[in-house]
Chains A and B, each alone.
Chain A
Amino acid sequence: MALITTTEPTFKADVELGSARGRIWRSLRHNPLGLAGGVLLAIVVLVAILAPLIAPHGPTEVNFAAPFQSPGTVGYILGTDDLGRDIFSRLIFGVQVSLQVGLLSVALAVIVGTPLGLIAGYWRWLDGIISRLTDVTLAFPFIIIAVGLAAINGPSLGNAALALGIAQVPTMIRVVRGETLRLRETDFVLAAKAMDASGLSIIFTHILPNAGSAIIVQATVIMPVAVIGEALLSFLGLGIQPPTASLGIMLSDAQQYISRSPTAAIFPGIMIAAICLGFNLFGDALRDALDPTNTRRK
């Protein structure tokens, strides 16, 4: 019997696709809102990293001769606060601190939540234990965790990140567990089982790479929540301590003088909004780009 000579039709659109990275980039490029979010984030991150180079003043540098300067004053483009500190410089360093807290808590949520979610989804007999623990954690307001940690260790950046991270672990577990439940029923996992692949190797070669996009997207959802959480905790005095600049501290300092100098509160507020908007838009676009079923006609 001869081998096949007839060529079967292929989808022309599929052949051009190329690498996965190229595909993601193409999809992002055709999503102007997502691209705008990405650019916004890139600027914010760059500014935070280069803070010592950009900031005209130190974040805690006081000038009692010039309190409550309005924006546009020479030497203080965004004005000064009640102690004559440069709002622009504090804002830049504040973003740095807020992003640190955000990254730390996201890292915690991913590092703790992903393995637990994989275990709960793959080995169903452990699911009961892990899922009930998740429910208990979710039922516990993260403010209480933060107050508890602050009472034990004293308020600090690390504690704020820890409390916010713990608060986000359950959602990460649920997302990863859901993806795992779906993926463990796919035919390619079944085929791997028929080859006698071990559970661990199935998780690492098949489930984790396929759940990757969901994890990344969930991380971009957690990030702004953590940034807002940091602001909230610092505002309440449970997170970063003055005089260190953070977006939350700036809001809390400014509230006493809100009628006299509203700009001291407005600028950190805008910054928080910008960071959240950037992450949301970028995360949305990333979700579309990472979805392999979403490649046609983009």
Chain B
Amino acid sequence: MDQVAHLAIRGLEVRFGDNPEPVLHGVDLELRRGERVAIVGQSGSGKSTIIGAILGLLPGDGRVTAGSIMLGSQELVGAAEKTLRGIRGARIGLVPQDPSSNLNPAMKVGAQIADALHAHGIRGRAEIARRVTALMTEAGIPDAARRSGQFPHEFSGGMRQRVLIAIALAREPELLIADEPTSALDVTVQRQILNHLQTLVESRGTSLLFITHDLGVAADRTDRIIVMLDGRIVEVGTPEEILGNPQHEYTRRLVAAAPTVTSTPRLPAESRDAQSEPILIVKDLVKEFKIRGQRGSILRAVNTVSFEIARGSTTAVVGESGSGKTTVARIILGLEEATSGTALVDGLSITASRGAARHALRRRVQPVFQDPYGSLDPTSSIERLIDEPLRIFRVGDRAARRVRVAELLDAVALPRAIAQRRPNELSGGQRQRVAIARALALDPELLILDEAVSALDVLVQDQILTLLMDLQSRLGLSYLFITHDLAVVRQIANNVVVMRQGTVVENDTVDEVFLAPRAEYTRDLLGAIPGAAFAR
């Protein structure tokens, strides 16, 4: 590895429109040939803006106002569009974030890879077809010759991401930029993709600039980590330095908040109440869906699932997409009818009860959903959102409801003044607090948290988890915590139910699952948690 900087960014400053405050405040960054560097930071920290500046593709009215970007001996800031076109794709490859929207759905994947080869100057049908197959095989797509004739919707998310990697590598770039390439994927798929990307980059000697919000992924995969906050680089170091001995206060908080396999449980031990009846008993639950267009074909989304939640405790249901965990939640909430089996809250079933009994039961189980942007009606004020359940259940008069809303805002640590705002004026974490306040309005006993922290940045996620634990110990709540992220589970759950393709593969206390996992699949999941190698 020679020591000449391959990519050198000096004092880069980027502004949008006539906003006096720049989005990037003089960023300095250096990447040596063949080196792998990660940029870590929360949303809005300017990670993606750096990529936009390197590629000359800043969105909207963004522009570089100071600094330089050197690729080898070529200055990229202020370079002519024609020059940049020759560099994008040819010398710098990009693996974008979202595999579902970055492929043309009306074009066969082989043709999309062929496009890149064509731009690379490769001619001849047979030669291009041969290269396409080779690239797809190299990216880890089995049966490449046949699959190159398929359309993107016939591929899974992980396979689509491999196609994108194949496209990025088609022109043999010297620098590969990966922008959160796996954040939309399940952990086990993420591990496969990253392993593969790493092998490819190593065998070709390509430099890699890796953008991620996940410190664990960055530590596992790169030689150097750059931590960004509000458009500034706050710390640079090797993974060992950053994780073992963080210097900047923000990095310290980030490292402390990042959930890992070895995170210590922060459960208040006395919250468990083993004596009384379980709050929730799920027994032999089955849910079948008819597959549209295929007569008589049935998908068993949930297959004889059974578990219990003790009063005042937290049970986590863990699984990847398609494991049936959300369907279970919907059945418990009474939003979906089970094909067979029962989900009993305090011995009563929501779906089987009618009228007043059902109404009363609904009060005791409330949901918090994943997406803090989708779960709050954008046209309502925060006050109306939180008192909606009170209005539906005709609790108190207007003044009493107003008092209750203020109490609830206090409980979730939001300022009372926020009541008259609308959801789009709040940040993701604040919105999720509003969603929790709404769920708490009717004094429920059981909260169904469906990926409730998955869409949040690490620090915000940490705060919301703290809030949930605090509420549990004060109000004696029970939680059903649905997630794909085992690392979070370690911190807050008493019991863990691991689901795969509709069936429960493991159901035990959190310590048993983490320290002595029985099922092969659980071990896979545990092994796929990023950052395990650096756990202290």
Contact = CB atoms under 8 A, between A and B. Distances in A.
Nearest to A15: B425
Contacts of B442: 195
Interface in B22-61: 42, 44, 60-61
A20 B422 contact: yes
A17 B359 contact: no
Contacts of A2: 470
A1 B269 CA distance: 13
A9 B426 CA distance: 10
B374 to A, nearest CB: 4
Interface stretch (A99-107, A147-155, A203-211, A220-228): A203-211
A197 interface: yes
A139 interface: no
Contacts of A205: 377, 380, 388
Interface stretch (B112-120, B338-346, B364-372, B491-499): B364-372
A201 B17 CA distance: 43
Contacts of B459: 6, 8
Contacts of A191: 367, 369, 375, 435, 438-439
Given A1-B466, A10-B430, A297-B16, A194 B362 contact: yes
A205 B44 CA distance: 33
Contacts of A20: 379, 422
A117 to B, nearest CB: 18
Given A6-B463, A188-B375, A191-B375, A196 B427 contact: no
Report which residue of A14, A191, A205, A295 has the largest number of chain B beta carbons within 10 angstroms of its beta carbon: A191
A125 interface: no
B375 A8 contact: no
B92 interface: no
A150 B334 CA distance: 54
B61 A297 contact: yes
B425 to A, nearest CB: 5
B300 to A, nearest CB: 23
Nearest to B469: A1
Contact of B388 (A9, A192, A212): A192
A191 B363 CA distance: 12
A1 B375 CA distance: 28
A294 to B, nearest CB: 11
B396 interface: no
A209 B378 CA distance: 9
A210 B466 contact: no
Contact of B362 (A4, A17, A196, A292): A196
Interface in B61-83: 61
Given A14-B426, A196-B392, A201-B392, A8 B460 contact: yes
Contact of A195 (B362, B371, B473): B362
A11 interface: yes
B463 A297 contact: no
A195 B469 contact: no
Contact of A197 (B266, B392, B427, B430): B392
A4 B438 CA distance: 19
Nearest to A189: B377
Interface in B322-380: 333-335, 358-359, 362-363, 365-367, 369-371, 374-380
A190 B335 contact: yes
Interface string B491-519: 00000000000000000000000000000
A206 B377 contact: yes
A196 B358 contact: yes
Given A187-B371, A195-B389, A4 B463 contact: yes
A124 interface: no
Report which residue of A1, A20, A195, A205 has the largest number of chain B beta carbons within 10 angstroms of its beta carbon: A195
A295 B60 contact: no
Contact of A194 (B16, B42, B334, B370): B334
Contacts of B424: 14, 17, 292, 295
Contact of A11 (B44, B388, B460, B466): B44
Contacts of A192: 388, 392
Contacts of A74: none
Contact of B377 (A17, A209, A295, A297): A209
Nearest to A192: B388
A265 B358 CA distance: 68
A73 interface: no
A295 B110 CA distance: 38
A8 B427 contact: yes
Interface in A210-238: 210, 212
B466 A4 contact: yes
B265 to A, nearest CB: 13
A194 B333 contact: yes
Contacts of B426: 10, 14
Contacts of A9: 42, 44, 230, 427
A193 interface: yes
A3 interface: yes
A186 interface: yes
B369 A187 contact: yes
A95 B268 CA distance: 74
B463 A194 contact: no
Nearest to A209: B379
B343 to A, nearest CB: 14
B380 A1 contact: no
A298 to B, nearest CB: 10
A17 B424 CA distance: 9
Nearest to A23: B424
Nearest to A190: B335
B467 interface: yes
A196 B357 CA distance: 11
B344 to A, nearest CB: 17
A292 B378 contact: yes
Interface in B419-467: 422, 424-427, 429-430, 435, 438-439, 442, 459-460, 463, 466-467
Contacts of B358: 196
A30 B370 CA distance: 35
Nearest to A211: B379
B403 interface: no
A193 B358 CA distance: 12
Given A196-B358, A209-B380, 12 more contacts: A2-B470, A4-B413, A4-B467, A8-B463, A20-B422, A187-B371, A188-B376, A190-B369, A194-B365, A210-B378, A212-B379, A295-B424
12 contacts: A3-B467, A4-B463, A8-B430, A8-B459, A190-B369, A190-B375, A191-B367, A191-B438, A194-B362, A195-B388, A205-B380, A292-B378
8 closest cross-chain pairs (CB), A and B: A187-B375, A209-B379, A196-B362, A187-B369, A187-B374, A188-B377, A195-B389, A1-B470
Interface of B: 16-17, 42, 44, 60-61, 230, 253, 266, 268, 333-335, 358-359, 362-363, 365-367, 369-371, 374-380, 388-389, 392-393, 413, 422, 424-427, 429-430, 435, 438-439, 442, 459-460, 463, 466-467, 469-470, 473
